[in-house]
Structure formats: C-alpha cells, structure tokens
Amino acid sequence: MGVTDDDRVFKALADPTRRLLLDRLFVRDGRTLTELESELEMTRFGVMKHLKLLEAANLVVTRRSGREKLHYLNPVPIRQIHDRWIDKYTEHRVSALLDLKDELENA
Amino acid sequence: MSTMTAETTQVYRVYIRTSPEAVWDAITKPEWTERYGYQGVADFDLQVGGKANMRPGAGMREFPHVPDTIIDGEFLEVDPPRRLKQTWRMLMDADLAAEGFTTLTYEIESVGEGVTKLTVTHELENAPRNAHVVAGGIEAEGGGGGWAWVLSDLKSVLETGSHMAAG
C-alpha cells in the first residue's frame, strides 16, 4: 500500500465527475447507482465505471441492504493524506514563523 | 429523484499493513486503545452481553467534568479476529447521552499480502448529534475528527508504531 494507495486516491480525485459523485454522497450518503445516475448527465455504464475507480481508491465503500447496493463516501484515505501531509507542512510553517519571531525579537 | 430517506448509517474503511489479530487487539485491548484517536481505555468484557465501555485516557481526564465512563454499551457479537458488534452510547455530554444507544460493527478481513481490511459501520438512527460528532463535525471545537481521524491514526500506530493525532 503506502505510495500506491495515495496514487490511487489522487488519481481518483483528479476527475471532475468523480469529485461530483463524492460531493453528492457527502450531501446524502448511502445511495444506489440509480439515484446517483439520475443526477448526472452520463450513462449508467459511465457512472458505474467512475464508482468502481472510487471504490478501488477506497473513497467509496458499498454495502448491501436487501436487494440494493448502497454507496458510502469513505473519508479515511483523504484524512490519511491530511494527517500525513497537510498537518506536517502547516506545523513546519507555524514553527518557522515562531522561529522568525524569536529571531526578530531577540535581535 | 427517488425517496429521500435520510441515511443515518456511516461506513468507514481502512487498509492496514498488519494481521487481523493485530487489528483485533488494537480495537479491544486497553494498552492499544489508549494509543490512538481519542485515546480512551477499553473496559471490555469480550463476550455476548458483556460490557463494551470506554474510560477516559490520561489526556481526557485532565478536563473538568469528564465522567468515569465516556462510552457505554454491550457486546452483541464477538467473533475474534473477524467481527465485533456492540451497542454504543456517548456519555461525554447530556445531549449526546440522551440520544441513547447506537450500533457499532467492526469487520476485519485479511485481503492478502499482509494487508487487513477494517470496516467500521456505525448505525446512528435517531442520533443526529452523535452522527455529527463521529463524522468529525466538532473537530474545530476540539472534539476530535471522528471515525476518519481515529482510523487514520489507528493505521499509523499499527504500521509505524507512532500516532499522529494532535495532542
């Protein structure tokens, strides 16, 4: 996993239709393919293809409920990127600023 | 548009480079649970009908008015290292506690090559406040990032031995 995981997430997010699908699930989670398809100008097959990619990137998780397959937005991979990268950089920037402040004040 | 039934179940999944047994231990053993996420201390009686409680960890105990038990519940299914199902009620705050018991399921499955898939399903019917909290909705107020944050941190602890949760 590791690098490959992140690659898959970034690739999955690099497409506007897939981001739109995630946005729709964010508004209301646990939808069927039919529901998602009805909101997009796209064939059922096209939507299925995008959902498959999102699932492969672990950004969408499916779950059976009776005869229906429901799609859920899984925020964990995005959280991992946030925790690994964003936190690290913002922390650096903050400490760099504090260092600068120290230096300027003690000059 | 079809029927607008409000979806109250939340599903989270994480792939971790470790064994199903290690994931099971990280979820059920207090020496593990106090190392990631909210760092609560598991107070479990791991059998059907047994208690599924959480006590506050060292960091949380410093705050005023933190109860001795922050989550209470009861195990409904115990199948190590594959499946753990419990009732779950948050006691940190009166409004959250008033929503009553929700249902939490952990499913653990090896997907080969030393990787384990962990799926957390939280059924939060009639518990909109709790749903908001476990979705990370009060993170800006210091309420932690909910399940996504907990599972990201759990992965980090199991794979690297160190956690990333702010603290």
Contacts of B109 in chain A (CB under 8 A): none
**Domains of chain B, first to last:** 9-160 (3.30.530.20)
What pLDDT, on the 0 to 100 scale, is given for residue B63? 80
pLDDT band at B153 (very low <50, low <70, confident <90, very high): very high
pTM of the model: 0.87
* Number of domains into which chain A is organized: 2
Largest CA distance in chain B: 49
Largest CA distance in chain A: 71
pLDDT band at B2 (very low <50, low <70, confident <90, very high): very low
Nearest CA in chain A to B119: A61
Same domain for A22 and A32, yes or no, is yes
Place of tokens 């059922």: A44
Q: Which of A49, A17, A19 is nearest to A33 (CA)?
A: A49
Contacts of B18 in chain A (CB under 8 A): none
Same domain for A2 and A45, yes or no, is yes
Q: Do B1 and A38 touch (CB under 8 A)?
A: yes
Same domain for A46 and A57, yes or no, is yes
The tens place of each residue's pLDDT in chain A, 107 residues long, gives 444 678 999 999 999 999 999 999 999 999 999 999 998 889 999 999 999 999 999 999 999 989 999 999 999 999 998 887 776 666 666 666 667 777 777 76
Residue in A8, A28, A74 to test binding to B, most B beta-carbons within 10 Å? A74
Q: Which neighbouring-strand residues pair with B74?
A: B51
What pLDDT, on the 0 to 100 scale, is given for residue B167? 39
Question: What CATH number does residue A2 fall under?
Answer: 1.10.10.10
Same domain for A65 and A88, yes or no, is no
What pLDDT, on the 0 to 100 scale, is given for residue A3? 46
Same domain for A56 and A102, yes or no, is no
What pLDDT, on the 0 to 100 scale, is given for residue B32? 96
- Chain A residues with CB under 8 Å of a chain B CB are 1-2, 5, 28-32, 34-35, 38-39, 58, 61, 63, 70, 72, 74-76, 78-80, 82-84, 87
What pLDDT, on the 0 to 100 scale, is given for residue B33? 96
Same domain for A64 and A85, yes or no, is no
Same domain for A17 and A67, yes or no, is yes
Q: Do A79 and B4 touch (CB under 8 A)?
A: no
- Complex ipTM value: 0.85
Residue in B10, B11, B123, B163 to test binding to A, most A beta-carbons within 10 Å? B11
Task: Give tens-digit pLDDT for B92-134.
Answer: 899 999 999 999 999 999 999 999 999 999 999 999 999 999 9
Same domain for A31 and A63, yes or no, is yes
What pLDDT, on the 0 to 100 scale, is given for residue B159? 94
Domain that holds residue A51: 1-74
Same domain for A36 and A83, yes or no, is no
Cα–Cα distance, B107 to B119 (Å, whole number): 5
Same domain for A65 and A82, yes or no, is no
Same domain for A50 and A83, yes or no, is no
Give the number of A-B residue pairs with CB atoms closer than 8 Å.
68
Same domain for A67 and A83, yes or no, is no
The mean pLDDT value for B139-164 works out to 88
Cα–Cα distance, A42 to A24 (Å, whole number): 15
Task: Give tens-digit pLDDT for B27-76.
Answer: 999 999 999 999 999 999 999 999 999 999 988 888 878 899 999 999 99
Using CB atoms, pick whichever of A30, A35, A74 lies closest to residue B12.
Answer: A74
What pLDDT, on the 0 to 100 scale, is given for residue A31? 95
Q: Kindly calculate the radius of gyration of chain A based on its CA atoms and give it in whole angstroms.
A: 19
